[in-house]
Amino acid sequence: MTTTTSLPSAAKPFAIVEADFADGTYKFGLSWALASEWEKDTNRSLMATFLQAARIHVATMGDIREIVRLGLIGGGTEPAKALRLVRAYVEERPAVENFPLMISILDAFLNGHPEPTPTETESAPANG
C-alpha cells in the first residue's frame, strides 16, 4: 500500500510517499537539495528520467537504487540505514520490484500530492 501526504515546509520534501518496503513501512521523499544532488551526480535531468520511466518504463538500475536511497533519506531514514536497506532490498532483489516505488517517489517530488481537505473526505459517499 502506498499513500502520500504533503508537508508544509519548503526545506522538506514537497510530498511524502509512505510505502511497504523491506522490513516495514517507510516514508520516502525528495527535497530540492536531494534532487539536485542526484542531478549533479548523474549529470542528467530528474524530470527527463521520470518521464522516460513513467512513459516507456525504462530506467537504469542505478536510477532505481539511488532514487530509493535518497527517497528514504528525504523521508527521515538515517543515511547509513538507508544504504543498508538499499543494499539488502534493492540490490539483492529483481530490479523491477522497486520500479513502481521509484516512480512514486519521483511523482511525489515533481507533482506533489496534496492532502484531501476534510470536506472532500466527509462528502465521499459511504459504501453500504
Mean pLDDT by 10 residues, the chain (128 residues): 47 87 95 95 96 95 97 96 97 94 96 60 50
* Cβ neighbours around 27 below 10 Å, total: 19
CA distance 32 to 86: 21
Domain assignment present for residue 73? The answer is yes
pLDDT of residue 26: 97
Helices 99-111 and 46-56, interaxial angle, to 10°? 130
| Residue 123 forms part of a structural domain | no
pLDDT at 120: 44
* Contact by Cβ (8 Å): 64, 95: yes
- Give the domain extent around 110: 2-114
> Total domain count for the chain?
1
In this prediction the pTM is 0.80
Q: What is the pLDDT of residue 113?
A: 73
